[in-house]
Amino acid sequence: MEEKMYLIGMNASNDGQIIKEKYIKDSRRQMEDLSINILFGRLMCDMGQWDQSQHFFERLLNNSNGYNEDLAQVEYSLGEVLQWKGEWNEARKYYDRAHERIINVKPTPMTDLANILFNIGEILCLEGNQRKYDEALDFYQRSLAIREKFHPFAYAGIATVLNNIGLAAYGQRKHDEALNFYQRALTIREKFDAHNHPNIVDSLINIANVLRDQEKFNEAIEFQERALMIREHNYPSDYVNITYNLSNIADMQRWRDEHELSLIYEQNCFLMRLKALPPDHEEIGHSLSNMGQIYENLQKPILALDYYQRALAIYTICLPSSHYNLRIMQLNIERLSEELEIELD
């Protein structure tokens, strides 16, 4: 594995070498104290080469003399790789070791400490139970306090922590608290990071989700539509996320009894899915089912029945026979057929 690591470093193409050098140069602007070895291992991680990155950092750790200036960064970086791989317990062990090492360094590297606290908070949130959310909030708040005190102009990092505090509060169903942190994150992102469209969209969607759960559908729709406009303008081929927005807006229009508007959004969602997905894909079935429900609400049962039957035809192909959605379609079809006095085949 060691030979393989060296080959990755030595036999890169010219383009790859340029990318590597730019990555190291840009990263060093942000993390001046990191060695080339650490940056190289992180580059592999950022490229999705998690196993290679893990083996590289493990080799650095095994070859260390028990203490050097990079050791905490090696342990922290191993934690990050393992977190990406979903090995949260192992990741936490390395974060704890790096944390213990860093707090004993004088002067304490506060940026590194804030990053470790943040990542531990992320792992606790991923575990997703109420007790873990409380712990996560504590780690996030400590990370935020350090950033605001020592790096008050590092706006992107502060906004990310605020957003994640919102996520933890949302996981606890503390909607007002979550909304406050989401809005603070959005304000910073729009003011200081306006070209980072994905993060702004994430904030808009998070706010919309809280407002939806509070049944403030008008406000929630406004935030969903803002997110939709950004995605359609900047990422027009991102059908997954655009259809997510369209479907959510359609649902909320239906919940506020605006069925004609709901139908427009659902039809747009359906047409986009038709272009991007196989004809018997489950999501196309969902769109047909939703349009059937809307037509029922519009007192158009014959059209509703047609869409339910089309949805059932797709569900029969792509879902197991015992699936809930398939059974619901069967019941809807039976009910409408009886009401319309239509005999089923």
Q: What is the largest CA-CA distance in the chain?
A: 83
At CA 148, angle to CA 143 and CA 152, rounded to 5? 135
How far is 306 from 333, CA to CA, in rounded Å?
A: 9
159 lies in a domain?
Answer: no
Q: If the chain, 345 residues long, is cut into consecutive pieces of 10 residues, what is the mean pLDDT of each piece?
A: 38 44 44 72 88 91 70 92 94 95 90 95 87 93 97 94 97 97 98 92 98 98 97 95 97 97 98 96 98 97 97 97 96 95 75
What's the token pair of residue 184?
């603070």
Distances (CA, A) of 223 to 75, 148, 208, 249, 267: 40, 27, 5, 10, 20
The dihedral through the CA atoms of 83, 88, 92, 93 has a sign that is negative
Print the domain residue range for 336: 292-345
205 falls within a domain? no
d(CA 220, CA 340): 37
20 within domain boundaries: yes
> From CA 314, how far away is CA 246, in angstroms rounded?
21
Please report whether residue 1 resides in a domain.
Answer: yes
Helices 217-234, 239-255: crossing angle, 10 deg rounding = 160
Residues 204-256 have pLDDT tens digits of 999 999 999 999 999 999 999 999 999 999 999 999 999 999 999 999 999 99
Query: Which of 263-290 are b and which e, b meaning 16 or more Cβ less than 10 Å from the residue's Cβ?
Result: bbbbbbbbebbeebbeeebbbbbbbbbb
Instruction: Establish if 275 belongs to a structural domain.
Output: no
Single pTM value for the model: 0.84
- Is 170 a domain residue? no
Tokens of 330: 């069967």
The helix (run of H) or strand (run of E) holding residue 274 is: helix 259-276
How far apart (Å, rounded) are the C-alpha atoms in residues 21 and 322? 55
pLDDT at site 345: 65
The Cα–Cα gap between 28 and 214 comes to 44
- Helices 14-30 and 36-46 meet at what angle, rounded to 10? 110
Counted domains in the chain? 2
Q: Which residue has the tokens 């606890």?
A: 172
216 occurs within a structural domain = no
The predicted pLDDT at position 307 comes to: 98
Give the residue from 105, 126, 141 where a domain finishes.
Answer: 105
- Domain with residue 3: its CATH number is 1.25.40.10
CA-CA-CA-CA torsion sign (70, 75, 81, 83): negative
| Residue where a domain stops, chosen among 105, 138, 154 | 105
In a domain, 168, yes or no: no
Compute the C-alpha angle 294/295/301, nearest 5°.
140
Q: Which 3-state string (H, E, C) describes 30-82?
A: HCCCCCHHHHHHHHHHHCCCHHHHHHHHHHHHHCCCCCCCCHHHHHHHHHHHH
Which pLDDT belongs to residue 277? 96
Residues 6+ apart with CB under 8 A from 240: none
Q: Which helix (H) or strand (E) holds 251?
A: helix 239-255
Give whole-number Cα distances, 140 to 147, 187, 207, 336, in Å: 11, 19, 19, 52
| DSSP calls for 116-127 | HHHHHHHHHHHH
d(CA 119, CA 140): 9
Q: Looking at 90, 105, 120, which one is the last position of a domain? A: 105
User: Residues with Cβ < 8 Å from 139, sequence gap 6 or more?
Assistant: 117, 118, 120, 121, 124
In this predicted structure, what is the pLDDT of residue 40? Answer: 86
Cβ-based burial of 319 (10 A; exposed 0-12, middle 13-18, buried ≥19): middle
